[in-house]
Structure formats: structure tokens, C-alpha cells
Chains A and B, each alone.
Chain A
Amino acid sequence: MRSPKVVDGLGLGFVAVIVLWLAVNFFKDPTYFLNVGLDGLTRGTVYGVVALGYTLVYGILQLINFAHGDVFALSGLVASTMMLTVLSIDTGSSNAAVAGAVVVTLLVTVPLFAVLNGSIERVAYRPLRNAPRVAPLITAVGMSFIVQNVSLALYGVDYESGSELIPQGVAFNIGDVRFTWKLVIALAIIVPALAVLTWFVETTRQGKAMRAVAQDTEASAMMGINVNRTISTTFFIAGSLAAVAGLVFFLEFQVRYDTGFELGLIAFTAAVLGGIGNLPGAVLGALLIGFIQSYNEGLLWYAPGGDWTRSIVFGILIAVLVFRPEGLLGERTPEGA
């Protein structure tokens, strides 16, 4: 239903309240505001990588891959094994050793989870291509539980965290605004990954094929594009992204078998907020959600607090889907959002 003017007005009013709230907090303590914001940036970059995985798959298959978040969590756990057990990195290791371990870990986890993700598609989703739309969706939910329980079986209920391995505290300051090591490291790992992704999607043949299939599967097939292979490639890439995000999350926060659920929802909301199927949109949406989460938990003037984060994120999701399903950067296409 075309939202009547009243509803549009309500939506705008709501946004105005948020902006006002942010502004008041900013003026009360600008440096604190910015620091909290940078914290949001740190989270937002990780969310962005996971969100890209969701949006890539959704763009090409119109499927919400519920299992993606859990693949991400598992990759974080495997990264912990690589770093802590296999490579024996501990708090005493030098920064160079840690950096080297990160590279080696990525060299292992990225291909591993690319293949795992691709296998999930091959085994669980591909056979259901001609089934009614609910079928692969239901299967994805089941798959999510399976992956989660694999993590549970392998790692139990313990949290794994590498935050003691990386340099603590502040890397540098601009005025009183603190740029933490966490932020620097996150950007150092993620920005190159995004650059590679962008290069791949924009310039390579497979990347172009992905965009073509996302736009029009039938036409792409008729033009000789191997749709199956393109879909597999998409899942490989999404798996790789999950592995990168998993490692960063392990280093900066903590991972557990069920981390994927919450993070998956956050990341998917980010993808929808930015415009599902739209790659820059996913990153933008993720950054926004990162900020929102940090401001919600960190600001002092009338902030609802961490308990309400999940509800707020869902509230955003519902609001976007109802009022602006194409997201911030998406287009109103005949196919819908």
C-alpha cells in the first residue's frame, strides 16, 4: 500500500527525533560523541563485510542465506584455532608474529570457508531451484542450525577471543579523539579485502557475470553465461568474506557458536537498510547500524542501552521494509526492493 502522507510524516518525524537526540548528545560532549562514533565505525566495518555476503547472495538468488551468519561465526572459531593452537600465538608474541599469523590464518580460512559455503549451496539450495520459494528459505534455516551445532560440537559454549593478541588501546590521537588499534587493524584487514572484492566484481568476467545474473537470470543464461558456475562463485566469495570478517571479529571482540545469529540479523538488516543487492549500500547500511548500536549503548543522554539493541535493529529492519523496501541506495524496480 502506498503509505499515506500521515505515515510518511510519522516516519520523517521519527527520523527528526533521532537526529535531534544525536545532536543533543553531540553538543553535550563532542569528543565523547566522536569516540563513541569511532567505536561504531569499528563494528560497522565488520558488519559491512558480513552484510556484503548476505547482499551478494540475495542479489543473485533472492534468497536470505540464514546460514551465512553461522558460517561467519564458525570461521571466527576456526581462526582462533589457527592462531592460538596451530600457530601458537599468545599474548607474548611480537606484533610482527601476530601480523604474520593473521596472514597465514587468512590463507587457510578464506579458501576453506569459500569452499564450505559453496558446498552448502550445492548440496542444500541448488536442488530446490524449482521448488516454491519457501523451500530454500526453510532449508536455509535448517542449515543455519546445523552449522551452529557444528560450531557447538567443536568448540562448546566457550567464547574465543583474540583481543589480547593485538596491541591494546589507542594507536594515535587527533585532539582528544582516540583512534584505537582495533579500528586501525580492522581497517587494515577489511579495506584491502573490499578492494579486492570491488576489483573482482567490477573488472573480471566472473564479476560481470555475477552482476548480469543478479539483474536478469534468464537473459544471462541465454547469453551464454554459466548460471550455475556464477552462483557458485558468488557463494565462494560470500564464504571468503565471512572468513575475513570472522577473523577480525575474533581479534577485536569474541566469537562463540551462537555469535552468528545476532550478527547475522544485524548484518542482514544492514544489507536491507542500504538496499538489498546493492554492494556499497550494504557497507553504508552496516556503518549506520554500527553507529546506531554504539550510540545506543554508549551515549549518556537518554540512550535505551544494550538490552534493547536487538529490538532496535529489528525495529529498523521492519521500518525499512514497510516504508522504504528499496533501502537507502536501492531503486524501486518492478521486481520490488
Chain B
Amino acid sequence: MSSVSERARGFATGPRDKWIAPAVIVLGLLYPWYVEALQALPLIGDFIPSTESMVVMVAFTMMALGLNIVVGYAGLLDLGYVAFYAVGAYTAGWFASQQFDQVTFSFLSSVPDDQPGIHITMWLVLLVAGFLTLFAGILIGLPTLRLRGDYLAIVTLGFGEIVPQVVRNGDNFFGFDLTHGTFGIAPIDAAGFPVLASFTSLPKNFQTSPNRAMWFYLGAFALLLITVFCTVRLRDSRLGRAWIAIREDETAAAAMGVPLMRTKTWSYAIGAFFGGVAGAYYASFRGGAFPADFYFQFSVFLLCMVILGGMGSVWGVIAGAMILGYLDREGLATIGSKIQDAGLEFDPTKYQFGIYGIIIVAMMLIRPAGLIPERRHRIELEEGVHDTPFYDVQLEGTLTDRDRTDD
């Protein structure tokens, strides 16, 4: 364990570490080509995820990285990230399906032009979803981000509940069907390359292509790379430093000129952006946006990924997300069937949230910095942080006054 963390201290601590990232990228990219070979292996073959599952795992990883910006960088406990996932998914539902069949509008869409509804190419819809979710994040952030940590958590939880509830009841907005209520919006157009398809071997529509899973996976992988790139660039920038300063000691950060509300809102908005993009892409893969997919526990599921992997650590969050995403999609079911083969009547999928709860508690107590700690964070959580500690044990000269204006 310690050699992994030493090696992962920062992206590259020595010349031989520079090949880790490229190697992982290549391995990840080629996955659809060697997955079957892996699945044929004895013993571990059953545990190798299918390409379909990988698509979802990668989408979840994107969301986890988005959450990492809020929780890991800025240190804000967001328990309502599922709201961003929902906004992203429904944006895909609005701009790439037959939901608004009152009009017929098509733009570079992967489905035939004469289909009723708005059908814009998914790649553009992703962008729209990202920005819509970003604005939703700013809106939610306005009342929320001025609150103290524990209240912030509960209020984000609240929004994480309100958004799905609105979505469930959104089939009658003063007579207008916005979200098609409990049925959700389906089918949602798949991604595709309708223009490029005419002179390359790229598919017009992923859904109808013989290698559906592979194409969706490659698309997801590309999005993930973009997300990682942005995340790392942000971390090492003026904004990233401001976030981490806020995380460590909000009062000192403000005293050094960091505008708290604005900076926190940026983290929330950018985190939301990636959640929206991931949500829209996943909806495209899933073929629909369904209210049943959006529930509070999902936010905690994402949080568990960040905790398991390491708050603020890009590699860590990727690892945590892939592990938990795998468990959710296939792993627990596979383990369950193995257990049943052995004769025991135990179904781990029923208790998956209990398992995630155990992971969270265990990690916080034993290894709070995560599997692959961010260089800085490991020390912060194990040695204690200077900001208002759990017990306010400061005397005169404390800066625990909440009675102050902000932004």
C-alpha cells in the first residue's frame, strides 16, 4: 500500500512514473478489443466487466470527478449531486427525443430527420446539458453556499430530493408536459456521427451499430479524458489553489483575498457541469431519462467513490469510481452468485448501500485519505486541520464569528 501512495504522490515523482498515465490511457482505450480475452481467463474471468458495464462505470467516474471538485478540492460536502445527473439526463431528453413532438426540428441528428420532436446531435446536446446544469448549480448554490458545512450538506441533500420530485411530477406544469412524469422521457437518441458516417466507417448512430457498446464506450472514454484534463488543469491553477485554501482554512483564505462565495460557487458550477455532461451521455446510452434513476442514495454512492479513492486525488477518485461502479453494475451480482454457488443464501446486491456505508465509515476511521491519497490531503486528515476543529477549542483571537458579511 505505501509504495502505491508514494508512487502516486503527485502525478509523477520520477522519470519512470511518466509512463503510468499514457499506459493507462492506452489500456483503457483498447479495452473493447481485449475484454473477451480477459473474460475467457479462468477464475478471474467472471469478474471482468463487460463493455456495456464499462460505459456506465466511465460515466459514473466522470460524475465522481465532478463531485471531487466540490468535495475534494473545495471541501464542501455535497449530498445532492444526483440533482445534476438528473438535469443533464433530462436535458438530453428535451433536445434529443420525441418529448417535444409539438415541433419537428433536427440538427445533425443521428435519427432520421422526419421524426417529431427536437433532435440535435448528441455531442452538442452534451454541451448544452453541461451548461444548463452549470446554471442549475449556480442557482442552487446561491442560497446554499453561504451556509456552514453541516447545513450545506443537508440543504444540498434537500435539493437532491426536490429535483427528482419535481421531475416525477413534471408532466403537468400548468398543462405543459415537461418531464413526462413517472414514465420519464424515452427513447432518447443515441450518440452518433451522422455527417462523418457518409465517408468513414464511423457509425451514424451508436444504437444501431453492431458494436454499440464499443462505440458508446469510446465516446465515454473520450469524455472522461477531457474531464480528467480539465480537473488536473484546474487543480494546478489560481482557482484550484483558492479552492484548496478554502478547504483548509476558509477564514484565512478570505483574509488572503480569496472571495469565498464566488470561489465556492465556481466549484459547484464546474462540478455540476461535468455531472450534467455525464448525465446526458448516460441517458443517451440508457436510451431514456427515468425518475426512478434519481434518488438520494445515488449521491452518497458517488460520495463513497470519492472517499474510497481519496478526496481531491484524481487517480484516487478514478480508482474508487471504477471499483464501486463495477460493484454496482456487475460485481455484487457476480459475488452474490458465487456465494450462492457455495451454498449460502446471501444476496449482496440487496445490501449494497449498507456495503457503501461500511466502506465510508471504514475509510474515514482507518484511511481517511483514501486508497490513492492526494499528496496534501493524507496529512490533513490524519494529523488534523487548523480550521475550526470539531470542538471549538480556541480562545481569544478566534475567528469563529459567523456574523459577518460575505460577497
Contacts and interface: CB of A to CB of B under 8 A. Distances in A.
Interface stretch (A14-22, A122-130, A178-186, A192-200): A122-130
A163 interface: no
A174 interface: no
Given A1-B407, A128-B365, A321-B155, A142 B391 contact: no
A48 interface: no
Contact of A217 (B296, B353, B354, B392): B392
A133 B158 contact: no
Interface string A296-337: 000000000001101100110110011001000000101111
Interface stretch (A58-66, A89-97, A110-118, A240-248): A58-66
Contacts of A217: 391-393
Contacts of B391: 129, 217-218
Interface stretch (A30-38, A39-47, A74-82, A148-156): A148-156
A273 to B, nearest CB: 13
A334 B356 contact: no
Interface in B239-267: none
Interface string B141-156: 0011011111101110
A124 B365 contact: yes
A89 to B, nearest CB: 30
Interface in B348-392: 350-351, 353-361, 364-365, 368, 380-381, 384-385, 387-392
Given A153-B354, A310-B165, A139 B384 contact: no
Contact of A132 (B354, B356, B357, B380): B380
Contacts of A153: 351, 354
B154 A142 contact: no
A322 B401 contact: no
Give the dominant DSSP class at A's interface: helix
A131 interface: yes
A146 B358 CA distance: 6
A61 B390 contact: yes
A335 B149 contact: no
Residue of A124, A129, A135 ringed by the most chain B CB atoms within 10 A: A135
B323 interface: no
A136 interface: yes
B3 interface: no
Nearest to A213: B391
A134 interface: yes
A84 interface: no
A138 B158 CA distance: 16
A268 B368 CA distance: 27
Given A62-B150, A149-B357, A317-B158, A311 B364 contact: no
Nearest to A157: B350
B162 A314 contact: yes
B353 A64 contact: no
Given A131-B381, A311-B165, A334-B400, A124 B146 contact: no
B154 to A, nearest CB: 6
A142 B364 contact: yes
Task: Choose among B166, B360, B389 the residue with the greatest number of A CB atoms under 10 Å from its CB.
Answer: B360
A87 interface: no
A1 B405 contact: yes
Given A310-B165, A322-B143, A335-B392, A149 B353 contact: yes
Interface of A: 1-2, 58, 61-64, 124, 127-139, 141-146, 148-150, 152-153, 217-218, 261, 265, 268, 272, 307-308, 310-311, 314-315, 317-318, 321-322, 325, 332, 334-337
Interface of B: 71, 75, 77, 79, 143-144, 146-151, 153-155, 157-159, 161-162, 165-166, 168-169, 296-297, 300, 303-304, 307, 350-351, 353-361, 364-365, 368, 380-381, 384-385, 387-395, 400-403, 405-407
Given A138-B303, A314-B158, A322-B146, 5 more contacts: A2-B405, A131-B364, A133-B389, A150-B354, A153-B351
Return the 7 tightest CB-CB contacts between A and B, nearest first. A149-B354, A145-B357, A142-B360, A336-B402, A314-B158, A130-B384, A146-B357
